Chains A and B, each alone.
Chain A
Amino acid sequence: MLTPAIVRRNTPQRYRMEAAKCAKCGKVFFPPRLICDACKSRTFKPYTLPQEGTVVSHTVIRTAPRGFGDEAPYCMGIVELTDGTRILCQIADCEPERLEIGLKVAIEFRKIQEAGESGVIAYGYKAVPGR
């Protein structure tokens, strides 16, 4: 679901990768949470995720959900950033044959999807293989 309210609310994490770091135990949450599942602290410090990482698993989506049909097939992966935080995102500018566990990637700001009903264009992050 993609509406103007949802897009606006998620802008800090999707545009700027703003996460939350537990003030007590240091665990990083992305997207941010209100209570740390490790130490139960409710105090967090603002924290921005690093923009480089490594692919730890990957797939090629060939049957796409609503809103992504025109883009299929597209590469997708779980990326472990240099601080150890894992994110899931598309891997852009990448031929499927190039996908492998251990591939170094950089995070870039990209268009994610256009919502038909609301007309909203959603932006966010994608991983791009290192050049």
Chain B
Amino acid sequence: MRDVAIIGIGMTDFGELWNDSLRDLFVKAALEAMDDAGVDHIDGLVAGCMSPGLFAGQEHIGSLLADYLGQAPIPGVRVESACASGGMALRTGIAYVASGMHDVVLCGGVEKMTDVSGAQATYALATAADQDAEAFHGATFPGLYALMATAHMHTYGTKREDLAQVAVKNHDNGMLNPHAQYRMKITVDQVINSVKVADPLNILDCSPITDGAAAVIICPLEMAKKLKKKPLVKITGSAHATDTIALHQRADMTWLKSTADAAASAYKQAGVKPSQIDFAEVHDCFTIAEICVLEALGVVKKGQGGKATREGLTARDGKFPVNPSGGLKSKGHPVGATGIAQIHEIVTQLRGDAGKRQLKGVKRGLAQNMGGSGGSAVVHILEVL
């Protein structure tokens, strides 16, 4: 297996982008990544997208995107793992490059979510839950994460304010990210008093509906060494794990086992312990998710995610900054694009290009991207050489 490096990154603004189509969003991010890498040709394209069929009425986007990027007849494929589709696109592309099948591969993510009504978007997202055992009964994604939150608060004494602090912290970060959808400060009181969605979660505990795309260019590390002027970023860990997608069928509904399993594999590949990671971009689709993810990644002990957030561990100036980009909460969550946007932020930070939100002295970052209520998880570890 060949070592793999990231040589180019690009992303669109995240938001309600009425003038941009699914294909245009993807191509804008992809062209920016190709320009950043200094390449005018790619050998393969992998696009993460959760549901172009339900959100945009368009399937068969592997070919569509390769064509509109001016790269047909290269192989182009869409991969799907619900909200972890972006992470899956990178992992799939890594397999192409590491195996020697292709040299220069574009891994992108896109979701066009605002062409449909809110009710249709909610329906499309809910197809990532178990249709027979969850959606049939009227469960929603906020509802499933609310069930995790209720159990976490009951079992570990996590406070309502701890959940709110995740959103407050991520908005503080997102204010400094020019690509972020919601660049405004919020307070714990505002979160707790915002409109109820699924108790105990309110609207300000939830990531928004977003249009957007992100892309990265990868190639063999040895090839990258010959090409590059910018700091080289090597992918040292890439792992994926699955779990029962129905929340109630898991042994412990507050334990994100797929994330724990993927992280264990990624740490092993990279030869590092959680304490050797400098910062992370994680899947805060709801505030409780970030708390449970901290635990599953082994950053804190089981049950301590709320307390750690309260004490500032994950703030931008804390010992373990989490979601310096603003996370899904503030930056926005175009579901298929999210996993690649996380990689975009980590590369930006590792190159020292993050401007006002730049973290000091970071050499190694982790990205955790999750599908549904945790039925899939993808973890990547990146290091600057």
**A positions within 8 Å CB-CB of B:** 1-2, 10, 13-14, 30-31, 56-69, 71, 74, 76-78, 86-90, 96, 101, 112-113, 122, 124
Contact = CB atoms under 8 A, between A and B. Distances in A.
Given A56-B151, A76-B143, A112-B136, A61 B246 contact: no
Contact of B247 (A60, A64, A88): A88
A30 B201 CA distance: 28
A118 to B, nearest CB: 14
Nearest to B201: A59
Name the residue among A13, A14, A61 with the largest chain B CB count within 10 angstroms.
Answer: A61
Interface string B242-258: 00001111000100000
B40 interface: no
Contact of B197 (A62, A66, A74, A112): A62
State which size class the interface on B falls in.
Answer: 20 to 34
B15 interface: no
B140 A64 contact: yes
Nearest to B251: A86
Interface in B104-159: 119-120, 122-123, 126, 131-140, 142-143, 146-148, 150-151, 154
Given A65-B140, A113-B138, A59 B122 contact: no
Nearest to B118: A63
Contacts of A67: 138
B196 interface: yes
Interface string B174-212: 000000000000000000000011111100000000000
Contacts of A13: 132
Contact of B138 (A10, A14, A57, A64): A64
Nearest to B131: A1
A101 B152 CA distance: 11
Contact of B123 (A10, A65, A89, A96): A65
A34 to B, nearest CB: 14
A68 B138 contact: yes
Contact of B248 (A59, A64, A69, A87): A87
Given A57-B150, A59-B146, A63-B197, A76 B253 contact: no
Q: 8 closest A-B pairs (Cβ-Cβ)?
A: A59-B146, A57-B151, A68-B138, A60-B199, A88-B248, A78-B248, A57-B147, A86-B248
Contact of B198 (A63, A71, A88, A124): A63
Nearest to A71: B138
B198 A59 contact: yes
A20 to B, nearest CB: 13
A52 to B, nearest CB: 17
Given A31-B133, A124-B136, 14 more contacts: A14-B136, A57-B147, A57-B253, A60-B198, A62-B199, A65-B119, A76-B138, A86-B248, A86-B249, A88-B247, A88-B248, A101-B154, A113-B136, A113-B138
A90 B135 CA distance: 11
B154 to A, nearest CB: 5
A69 B118 CA distance: 13
B137 A89 contact: yes
B196 A112 contact: no
